[in-house]
Amino acid sequence: MKRRVIITVGKTHSGKTTFARELEQQLKNSIVIDQDNHAEFINTYYKSLRPVQGSNTFKYILTNTIVDYAVQKTDLHLILCNSNRNRNGRAELLSYFHNRGWRRGGKLLICN
């Protein structure tokens, strides 16, 4: 089976999660990986580990761990909700999949 990764990118409250959840219902064998869930988890259980200033590297590491697990240990299609509108951040994410054999057009779809 050809696996797909769909990356939603947009401003806060722009409908990324809503779109991702609706897509998950239509795309069999898929999972939504949403950074908002990771932020909520950290804020609920590990608030004292959040960085006082600067970017939330803890959330970034948690997200990467979940994505790594999904890529390496499952056959699921991935729907990534990501508020990272920074071009370099998206390029790094695309590079991650490209380096693991995923190809644009066949398996990658970016929805802005």
pLDDT tens-digit readout, 23-32: 999 999 999 9
Residue 22's domain comprises 5-111
Alpha helices in the chain (DSSP H): 16-26, 35-45, 57-73, 87-98
Please report, rounded to a whole number, the percentage of residues in the chain having pLDDT higher than 70. 88
- pLDDT of 71 higher than 90: yes
Q: How confident is the model over 31-58, as pLDDT tens digits?
A: 999 999 999 999 999 999 999 998 889 9
Query: Cα–Cα distance between 88 and 107 in angstroms, integer?
Result: 20
Please report, for the domain that includes residue 85, its CATH number. Answer: 3.40.50.300
Residue 100: C-alpha distances to residues 11, 96, 107 (Å): 28, 7, 12
The percent of the chain in helix, strand and coil, each rounded to the nearest 5, is: 50, 20, 35
Indicate the number of domains in the chain. Answer: 1
